[in-house]
């Protein structure tokens, strides 16, 4: 059904150099309309296309389709990369190396292709503007720069033109802008200048690391970014009878560039002409987007790994973080795993064992010998119940019985899901407003809104939005440590299902949480445990409900929190998802060596 009979010019990103202001326009999504540029777009003759992929039924079907195509494409990539590089690595090796990137690639492409198809099926398009991709490469340096690219306006604009051409939609005329006319996207990591004290600390740690590396033995357990507090990570290494190391991967520093001819030739080897247009596009474009470090720069990457002063034959490898975007670590670990070294990964965050999509199962669960959870298991042989790492042996977290309310916020997510995360975040922000409107005067006057640390890297303009909502609200941007904010609060309210909930519950800090869409995001196995929290009125499924709870308990938070039903619910949930132990390092060493 045609929404409007008026032909509209399609705008696909927030890059205003691709906009038209003299005719009716259609924004492909809300990500095009930046809040701090509303004075530009609010008076335009414009509508916004319906968001793609929302609702649990649609998310489920897209997830199933994406994983089927990912598995199929992975097998093809393994074969082609082995042939090109003259290697004979197994599937597990390649999953460790490029599994996370491939997962995101498939989800991103599904989202971009189907968003365009939905829009073009509903609206009459008079044309669009895009940057030429003749001299522009969509391939990034590595996995991390790929994530940056997935959020970049120009990169997405070029990708849109490429998809339109592959879809063969002649009814959408394209005005092409030469790439040489504008600056390019910086694929390298965003460089921030640390404060002077941090510079000095970093230099000191580097010097200490160099001295300690002289005492490395070839069979030392290799432990890097365990997600334990740093002092506990040091103790864990001492428990293994080895000199503690603060390992850091070498910077990639890759100078190799994408070879377009090579990539076109490799794409021809896997070209697909099936009944599934999306899978055909995935096979055509996988080498156009494949990061350089996996193709032209693989030899360079291997040389970097050879120059690492890491143990040559470690008794085990353990990380809770480096398995995703640390290319040097992944290459080193994949090589060691093929030689029989035990590969152990720890849970990083609350989504594992809980989230319906994304981490079900994760690449790290599949590739590890043991996956250490924070208490749960869910049918995979790798699952090994342990305890919550982040709060190991932490001092009792204090809170202020006479303090205020701390509202912990979520940031706008990266555009790496099959669905429209920006549209979801708009609904999320509206729910925050509904919560605050229902607060009684005293809780509202003593409310602190804590923005997520990643908010400053998004284009959501959190501070400006909150100021427009209510200029009297206290908004904390991350300058004050979260533990200090908790220490000055009588009640912590989490506005989304987060790791923070596990931390405050496991430390027995008065906690409330709320989110929209009920249990839609949860696996069936997790729902009974979350229902326990709902029944105890710790978790709420509407902003109005949680605001009412804040108002009711405000004058006696401790009395409510000490109630038997609240404490029993907290303990049952934590035993499953945020288990606490009295002998964490002894247990951890036993699990690792077992």
Q: For residues 536 and 278, what is the distance between their CA atoms, to the nearest angstrom?
A: 45
Q: Does domain 404-577 have CATH number 3.40.50?
A: yes
- Can you give the pLDDT at residue 232? 95
Does residue 189 surpass a pLDDT of 50?
no
Give me the phi and psi of 325, to 5 degrees please. Answer: -115, 5
- With a cut of 70, say whether residue 159 has pLDDT above it: yes
Structure tokens at 199: 């510079």
| Residues paired with 44 in a beta bridge | none
For residue 160 the two structure tokens come to 């849109």
Q: If pLDDT is split at 50, 70 and 90, which confidence band does 181 have? A: very low
The pTM score is 0.94
Mean pLDDT of 466-488: 95
Q: What is the largest CA-CA distance in the chain?
A: 74
Rg over CA atoms, the chain = 25
Our measurement of the distance from residue 447's CA atom to the centroid of its chain's CA atoms, rounded to an integer in Å, reads 28
pLDDT digits (tens, 9 = 90+) for 479-513: 899 999 999 999 999 999 999 999 999 999 999 99
pLDDT at 4: 66
206 pLDDT more than 70:
no
Distance CA 474, CA 483 (A): 17
Average pLDDT over residues 170-182: 75
CA–CA gap between residue 157 and residue 133 (Å, rounded): 10
Strand partners, 345: 319, 371
Give residue 310's pLDDT band: very low, low, confident or very high (50, 70, 90).
very high
For residue 471, count other CB atoms closer than 10 A to its CB.
Answer: 7
Q: What is the pLDDT of residue 360?
A: 79
What integer is the mean pLDDT of 396-402? 80
What pLDDT is attached to residue 188? Answer: 45
- What's the confidence (pLDDT) of residue 73? 96
Domain ranges of the chain: 56-190+257-294, 200-249+300-387+583-593, 404-577
DSSP annotation of 191 reads: P
Q: Does the pLDDT of residue 28 top 70, yes or no?
A: yes
Confidence class for position 276, pLDDT limits 50, 70, 90 = confident
pLDDT for residue 183: 43
Which CA distances in Å does 155 have to 16, 289, 412, 456?
A: 14, 11, 19, 21
Token pair for residue 321? 């973080």
Which uninterrupted H or E stretch holds 529? helix 527-535
- pLDDT band with cut points at 50, 70 and 90 for residue 135: confident
Confidence grade of residue 203 (pLDDT, cut at 50, 70, 90): low
Rounded Cα–Cα distance for residues 33 and 15 (Å): 10
How does the average pLDDT of the chain come out, rounded? 92
Sheet of 342-346: strand order equals 222-224, 316-319, 342-346, 370-373, 383-385
Q: CA nearest 576: which of 518, 527, 510, 543?
A: 527
Checking if the pLDDT of 359 tops 90, the result is no
Span 385-395, pLDDT tens digits: 999 999 998 77
Taking the C-alpha atoms of residue 434 and residue 179, their distance in angstroms, rounded to an integer, is: 44
Q: How confident is the model at residue 191 (pLDDT cuts 50, 70, 90)?
A: very low
Predicted pLDDT at 211: 61
**Residue 336, burial from CB neighbour count under 10 angstroms (0-12, 13-18, 19+):** buried
**Mean pLDDT, residues 565-580:** 98
Tell me the pLDDT tens digit for each residue of 518-569.
Answer: 999 999 999 999 999 999 999 999 999 999 999 999 999 999 999 999 999 9
Question: Which pLDDT belongs to residue 49?
Answer: 97
Q: Residue 361 CB: number of other CB atoms within 10 A? A: 15
SS3 521: coil
Residue the block writes with tokens 């998809």: 163
Q: Quote the pLDDT of residue 472.
A: 97
Q: Is the pLDDT of residue 341 over 60?
A: yes
In whole angstroms, give the CA distance from residue 503 to residue 389: 10
Q: Under a CB-based contact definition with an 8 Å cutoff, are residues 308 and 245 in contact?
A: no
Chain mean position to CA 493 = 22
- List pLDDT tens digits, range 424-458: 999 999 999 999 999 999 999 999 999 999 999 99
Helix (H) or strand (E) holding 63: helix 56-85
């Amino acid at each position: 059904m045609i929404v409007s009979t008026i032909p509209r010019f399609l705008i696909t990103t927030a890059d205003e150099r691709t906009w038209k202001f003299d005719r009716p326009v259609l924004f492909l999504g809300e990500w095009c309309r930046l809040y701090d540029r509303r004075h530009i777009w609010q008076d335009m003759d414009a509508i916004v296309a319906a968001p793609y992929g929302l609702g649990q039924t649609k998310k489920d079907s897209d997830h199933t389709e994406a994983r089927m195509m990912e598995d199929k494409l992975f097998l093809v990539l393994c074969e082609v990369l082995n042939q090109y590089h003259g290697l004979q690595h197994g599937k597990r090796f390649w999953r460790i190396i490029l599994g996370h990137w491939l997962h995101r690639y498939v989800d991103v492409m599904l989202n971009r292709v189907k968003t365009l198809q939905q829009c073009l099926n509903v609206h009459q398009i008079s044309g669009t503007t895009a940057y030429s991709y003749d001299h522009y490469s969509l391939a990034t340096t590595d996995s991390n720069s790929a994530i940056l690219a997935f959020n970049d306006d120009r990169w997405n604009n070029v990708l849109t033109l490429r998809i339109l051409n592959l879809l063969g939609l002649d009814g959408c005329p394209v005005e092409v802008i030469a790439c040489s006319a504008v600056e390019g996207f910086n694929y390298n990591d965003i460089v921030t200048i640390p404060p002077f004290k941090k510079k000095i600390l970093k230099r000191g740690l580097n010097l200490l690391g160099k001295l300690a590396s002289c005492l490395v033995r070839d069979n030392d357990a290799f432990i890097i970014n365990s997600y334990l507090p740093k002092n506990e990570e040091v103790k864990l290494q001492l428990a293994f009878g080895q000199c503690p190391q603060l390992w850091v991967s070498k910077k990639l520093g890759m100078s190799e560039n994408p070879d377009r001819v090579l990539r076109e030739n490799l794409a021809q080897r896997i070209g697909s002409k099936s009944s599934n247009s999306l899978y055909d596009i995935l096979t055509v474009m996988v080498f156009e987007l494949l990061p350089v470090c996996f193709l032209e720069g693989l030899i360079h990457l291997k040389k970097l790994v050879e120059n690492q002063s890491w143990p040559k034959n470690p008794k085990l490898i353990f990380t809770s973080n480096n398995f995703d975007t640390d290319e040097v670590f992944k290459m080193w670990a994949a090589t060691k795993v093929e030689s029989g070294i035990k590969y152990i990964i720890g849970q990083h965050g609350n989504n594992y064992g809980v989230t319906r999509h994304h981490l079900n199962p994760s690449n790290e669960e599949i590739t590890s010998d043991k996956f250490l959870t924070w208490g749960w298991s869910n049918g995979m042989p790798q699952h090994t119940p342990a305890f919550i790492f982040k709060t190991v042996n932490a001092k009792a977290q204090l809170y202020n019985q006479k303090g205020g309310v701390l509202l912990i916020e979520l940031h706008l997510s990266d555009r790496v899901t099959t669905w429209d995360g920006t549209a979801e975040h708009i609904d999320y922000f509206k729910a925050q407003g509904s919560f605050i409107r229902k607060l009684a005067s005293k809780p509202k006057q003593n409310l602190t809104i804590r923005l997520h640390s990643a908010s400053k890297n998004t284009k959501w303009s959190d501070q400006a939005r909150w100021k427009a909502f209510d200029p009297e609200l206290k908004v904390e941007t991350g300058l004050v440590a979260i533990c200090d904010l908790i220490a000055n609060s009588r009640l912590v309210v989490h506005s989304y299902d987060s790791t923070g909930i596990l931390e405050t519950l496991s430390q027995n800090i008065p906690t409330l949480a709320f989110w929209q869409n009920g249990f839609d995001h949860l696996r069936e196995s997790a729902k009974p445990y979350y229902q326990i929290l709902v029944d105890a009125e710790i978790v709420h499924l509407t902003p109005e409900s949680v605001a009412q709870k804040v108002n009711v308990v405000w004058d006696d938070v401790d009395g409510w929190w000490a109630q038997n039903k609240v404490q029993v619910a907290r303990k049952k949930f934590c035993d499953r998802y945020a288990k606490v132990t009295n002998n964490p390092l002894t247990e951890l060493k036993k699990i690792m060596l077992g």
